[in-house]
Chains A and B, each alone.
Chain A
Amino acid sequence: MKARVTVMLKTGVLDVQGEAVRRALGTLGFEGVEAVRQGKVIELDLAATDRAAAEAEVKAMCEKLLANTVIEKYSVEIA
């Protein structure tokens, strides 16, 4: 079973790297890019076969390590 975790800065937390990417896109001539937020995607290969159990375990991983919930939010997709 595979899991895909997406970690993004919470809404309202200034993303200085995303903002730098937005400016760089403007410099390259891509007009109309109003905002850029960047984050990370973490892919996990899991031995688990139970979808619900896998999702619960990956959420626990996010809370404990994969995301810093002070500034970041996460979402989990199980495939």
Chain B
Amino acid sequence: MKAAVVTFPGSNCDRDLAVAFEKAGAEVVRVWHKDSELPAGVDVVGVPGGFSFGDYLRCGAIAAQSPIAAAVKAHADRGGYVIGICNGFQVLTEMHLLPGALMRNAGLKFICKPVQLIVGTTDSAFTAGYAKGQAITVPVAHHDGNYTADAETIARLKGEDRIAFRYGANPNGSMEDIAGILSDNRRVLGMMPHPERVVDAEHGGTDGAAVFAGLIGKMALA
């Protein structure tokens, strides 16, 4: 199982994401935003949190136009797995790999704290290790996590069981309390909370570990 972790100028969760993949048993390769191809044999791409390109123009907008983004899109189009966390989720929406957009938090403040998430579906490699409705605690750290989409998109996400995680107590105004969503083939996950920050007892929790373990387990079976 090989995972590629992308680094943009301004990414700051790329190392943590690499460690989370390694801890789950993956071989990790690091790729730079100027790379136009992923290394051979990559099964999953991780797009990390941070402030790519200083959040200039819109969060994730410039990163979504980088050379590596085209390679990530091609990987996803081939049915490859992709996980985007925090700024990574913003990048995936700007790439149109996931629908909707992440707007400024309703309370206008940057929010950095552990929050309760409710697992919305177990029907994905990322969430198969949880129970539906399970409450887990995962930190958020964002200014623009207010998930917004048109009514048709929201209805489709609900109807197709694509809401991976919801907030127990909505911190940012997200529609439907959405914290994370899946693509229509269920192989692309975007989420604002940081599961890579809770994969070791010394982090203060391990509630995020199943996201990576489930993914790597799925690959091992394939």
Q: A residues engaging B (CB < 8 A)? A: 13-14, 16-17, 20, 64-66, 68, 70-71
Contact status B108-A68, CB under 8 Å: no
Instruction: Find A70's partner among B57, B62, B101, B146 (CB 8 Å cutoff).
Output: B101
Contact status B104-A68, CB under 8 Å: no
Q: Does B30 contact A (CB under 8 A)?
A: no
Contact status A65-B61, CB under 8 Å: yes
Contact status B148-A13, CB under 8 Å: yes
Contact status A65-B65, CB under 8 Å: yes
For B58, the chain A residues whose CB sits under 8 A away are 68
> Complex formed: what's the CA distance from A16 to B105 in Å?
8
- Give the nearest-CB partner of B96 in chain A: A70
Contact status B65-A68, CB under 8 Å: no
For B148, the chain A residues whose CB sits under 8 A away are 13-14, 70-71
Contact status A64-B65, CB under 8 Å: yes
Interface residues of B in 94-125 (CB under 8 A from A): 94, 99-101, 103-108
For A66, the chain B residues whose CB sits under 8 A away are 57
**Size class of B's contact patch?**
20 to 34
For B61, the chain A residues whose CB sits under 8 A away are 65, 68
Most interface-central of A20, A64, A70 (chain B CB within 10 A): A70
Q: Does B155 contact A (CB under 8 A)?
A: no
A70/B100 contact (C-beta < 8 A), A13-B148, A16-B146, A64-B65 known: yes
For B65, the chain A residues whose CB sits under 8 A away are 64-65
Write the nearest CB–CB distance from A67 to chain B, whole angstroms. 9
For A65, the chain B residues whose CB sits under 8 A away are 57, 61-62, 65
Instruction: Find B149's partner among A16, A17, A20, A70 (CB 8 Å cutoff).
Output: A70
For A68, the chain B residues whose CB sits under 8 A away are 58, 61, 94, 101
Instruction: Find B108's partner among A13, A14, A17, A70 (CB 8 Å cutoff).
Output: A17
> Complex formed: what's the CA distance from A16 to B144 in Å?
11
